[in-house]
Amino acid sequence: MPQRDVLLYIIILVWLLAAYMLCAQAAPTPYKASRSSSPLTLTAQQDSFNFTLLPNYLPRATSSVTPLQTLPATCLANTECTATITATNVTFSDCGSPWTICRCEGGKYDPVSLDTAVDRLARIPVGLRRYIATIILLGDDSPHAYTLTTGEIHFFGDIGMDGWLHEATHTFDFYYQHTLSSSQDWLDAIGNDTCAPDSYSLTNAIEDFAQVGVMKFYALAHYGALPFGWSTECMQNQLSYMDNLPLFNKTTLFGTCDMITDGAPHQAAPPPFDQANLEAIPLSEDSNRNAATATSTSVTTAFASSTLSPTETSDACRRSLQWYILLIPLLFVLLAPL
């Protein structure tokens, strides 16, 4: 083989090797996880949610309360209440089917009051509230809650508005059989970030999904801003995933139950009501401006960084390699006369 050809092949190989190494360095392989129940290895931004998501930052749907003389099966089936249990149907102006609240009364510890429970439920946007089934109110000296895969939520004491939003987000996720919090896209979003909202978020991808959901609702109520002490940059992939969920379409999130027909527990059209008597507390100083801009502001915040994502960078490198390969015949033409 002529010395010139050997030199040409060496140049081509060095060129391709350099291009490959540059791409490998610039485009790390995106994180791939396969389990949603494993503890997360991210850094918690804070130990817990030390901010207050005041109820009056969220609009309140008007409601009517009807005590039930006969206990529904869901109330009767509860074995955690060893005292008297009562049942109430609550109907809101944005939905045609009622929510049943079972309340355990007369025990050692008092559950949250019915008025407070109705107020908290009324402030969960209907686009999320529609996935909540029966609510069980129980007492405990240590407030906590859990959600069943059926959408039934058990509240022990008063866990605050952020707790209600957390459990409601679980009902949305559970309705779709964990296909959101267990999806590869969500797991990759977690893996490509460096932090999670708080220590409880690190429990697993399911709890992180619900906690990030709370942060999203906080942002909706505060013009896209997160609480003081929290940053969007280190968890922008998780926030972006939330931004892209149909749940956070502001038209359906703050609309009515019947705007989406997906078989959720509540999807009946609301009955006619007197617009003059509609009770609404603004999200912030100007509810109209907030409802119209909160989602877009949050999306802008989440994509504040102009850095290419690993996938985008990988695609760019792949295109570069393709050009390198196409230029090889040109090298032969240019070097042939030498």
User: pLDDT, tens digit, for every residue of 177-204?
Assistant: 988 999 999 999 999 999 999 999 999 9
Q: How far apart are CA 214 and CA 154, in angstroms?
A: 18
C-beta neighbour count of 19 within 10 angstroms:
16
Secondary structure class of 51 (helix, strand, coil): coil
Q: In which region does residue 304 sit, left (phi positive, over 0), alpha (psi from -120 to 50) or beta (all else)? A: alpha
User: The pTM is what?
Assistant: 0.72
Secondary structure class of 66 (helix, strand, coil): strand
The torsion defined by the Cα of 156, 159, 162 and 167, in degrees rounded to 10, comes to -10
Give me the count of residues in the chain: 338
Quick one: pLDDT band at residue 98, thresholds 50, 70, 90? very high
Per-residue pLDDT reduced to its tens digit, 199-216: 999 999 999 999 999 999
The torsion defined by the Cα of 100, 104, 110 and 113, in degrees rounded to 10, comes to 20
8 A C-beta contact, residue 125 and residue 252: no
Which residue matches tokens 């999306």?
299
**Residue 26 confidence (pLDDT):** 40
* DSSP collapsed to 3 states, 240-272: HHHHCCHHHCHHHHCCCHHHCCCCCCCCCCCCC
Q: How far apart are CA 98 and CA 132, in angstroms?
A: 11
Alpha-carbon distances, residue 150 vs 131, 274, 303, 320 (angstroms): 9, 33, 35, 50
Q: Is the pLDDT of residue 108 over 70?
A: yes
**Residue 15 confidence (pLDDT):** 58
**Residue 314 confidence (pLDDT):** 39
Quick one: pLDDT band at residue 298, thresholds 50, 70, 90? very low
Q: Is the pLDDT of residue 22 over 70?
A: no
Quick one: pLDDT band at residue 292, thresholds 50, 70, 90? very low
Tokens of 156: 């022990």
Pick the most confident of 263-272, 300-309, 326-335: 263-272
**Residue 116 confidence (pLDDT):** 96
Worst-scoring range by mean pLDDT, 112-126, 167-181, 223-237, 298-312? 298-312
